[in-house]
């Protein structure tokens, strides 16, 4: 193992460890509104908790985090499920208030896959899923792909087959790569996340899409690094780790690591925002979660590649 390889892996590990530490120290930021207004809806703040559960699942699944990081992740998830979601009661309340919303299902499934259960919520979801209006919900193609994937993971028939949902996404058509901008970038990353079940099944990427990404992802990584768009760069680093042959781009990872604050927070773009603690948390929790996600997946792929390499003569 070369010193360059060792330092690169250490850098990737440190990004994730610091990010998880910040998320734990600021866990109260994943707050829910006690009595949200009808205009705002009560489900908007549930999404960060679902994202937290997804990242926790990835950390446990890949098994590359140290004992301290694993302990923090367990404590974070217990806090989110029991203290913030009321052991699922808040999700049940949300499903009853907004029966056509897929948000409770999207948030619940990763918690359920980690062993947290709310039987009444499952019954409500299965009941509402039978409504024709559930399948008729008008959403962007990449969101429809995500809903089809989450329905499959929950154990109900997808409203739209995943292959049919995929066909309408931007990435499936493999358009001109220079037309990518911010919104399209996120559509690309989430298409890959849904196809691979958040990095669990890289073989879920169709060969033509994998080849397209292998060709153009290095260019996009370079672009978003230059723009200091850290949130999207982090998601693209996850996409890289989902490819059959990830590059684990050293320049991109070095820039990403340098952008991280000493306490582990990752800004969205440029430097850290200013404001009160709650406002700053709302702006940086997502790129910090992404940093933990990218680190876990890239670490796993890097260590797998090392173990697969032949020993020196």
pLDDT, averaged in runs of 10, over the chain (313 residues)? 68 96 96 69 83 96 89 96 97 93 96 98 96 94 97 97 97 97 97 97 96 98 98 98 96 98 98 94 97 97 72 48
DSSP alpha helix (H) spans, 130-181: 132-135, 141-154, 162-167, 170-173
**Angular region, 310: left φ>0, alpha ψ -120 to 50, beta rest:** beta
The span from the CA of 227 to the CA of 204, in Å, is 30
Given a contact cutoff of 8 angstroms between Cβ atoms, the answer to whether 220 and 194 are in contact is no
At residue 4, the pLDDT reads: 54
- Give pLDDT, residue 1: 40
pTM beyond 0.85: yes
Q: Which residues contact 281 (CB under 8 A, 6 or more apart)?
A: 26, 29
Dihedral, 286, 173, 248, 148 alpha carbons, nearest 10:
50
Largest CA distance in the chain: 68
CA distances from 73 to 21, 66, 243, 251 (A): 9, 11, 26, 28
E strand or H helix at 291: helix 277-308
Query: What is residue 33's predicted lDDT score, i.e. its pLDDT?
Result: 78
Give the number of C-alpha atoms closer than 13 A to the C-alpha of residue 288, restricted to the C-beta side: 29
Phi, psi of 214 (to 5 degrees): -60, -35
CA distance 19 to 14: 8
């Amino acid at each position: 193992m070369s010193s360059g390889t060792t330092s690169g892996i250490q850098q990737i590990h440190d990004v994730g460890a610091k990010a998880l530490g910040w998320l734990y120290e600021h866990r109260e930021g994943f707050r829910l509104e006690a009595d949200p207004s009808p205009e705002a809806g009560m489900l908007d703040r549930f999404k960060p908790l679902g994202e937290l559960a997804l990242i926790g699942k990835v950390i446990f699944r890949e098994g590359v985090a140290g004992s301290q990081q694993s302990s923090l992740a367990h404590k974070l998830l217990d806090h989110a499920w029991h203290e913030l979601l009321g052991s699922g009661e808040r999700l049940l309340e949300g499903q009853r208030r907004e029966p056509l919303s897929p948000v409770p299902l999207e948030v619940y499934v990763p918690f359920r896959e980690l062993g947290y259960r709310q039987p009444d919520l499952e019954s409500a979801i299965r009941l509402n899923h039978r409504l024709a209006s559930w399948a008729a919900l008008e959403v962007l193609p990449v969101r429809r792909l995500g809903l089809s994937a989450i329905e499959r993971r929950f154990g109900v028939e997808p409203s739209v087959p995943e292959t049919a949902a995929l066909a309408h996404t931007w990435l499936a058509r493999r358009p001109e790569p220079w037309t990518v901008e911010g919104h399209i970038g996120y559509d690309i990353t989430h298409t890959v996340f849904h196809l691979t079940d958040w990095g669990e099944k890289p073989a879920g990427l169709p060969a033509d899409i994998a080849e397209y990404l292998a060709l153009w992802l290095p260019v996009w990584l370079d672009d978003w690094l230059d723009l200091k768009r850290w949130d999207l760069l982090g998601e693209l680093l996850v996409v890289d780790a989902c490819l059959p042959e990830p590059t684990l781009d050293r320049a991109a990872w070095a820039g990403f690591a340098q952008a991280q604050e000493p306490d582990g927070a990752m800004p969205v773009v440029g430097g850290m925002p200013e404001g009160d603690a709650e406002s700053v948390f709302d702006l940086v929790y997502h790129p910090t979660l992404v940093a933990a996600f990218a680190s876990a997946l890239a670490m796993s792929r890097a260590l797998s590649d090392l173990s697969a390499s032949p020993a020196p003569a």
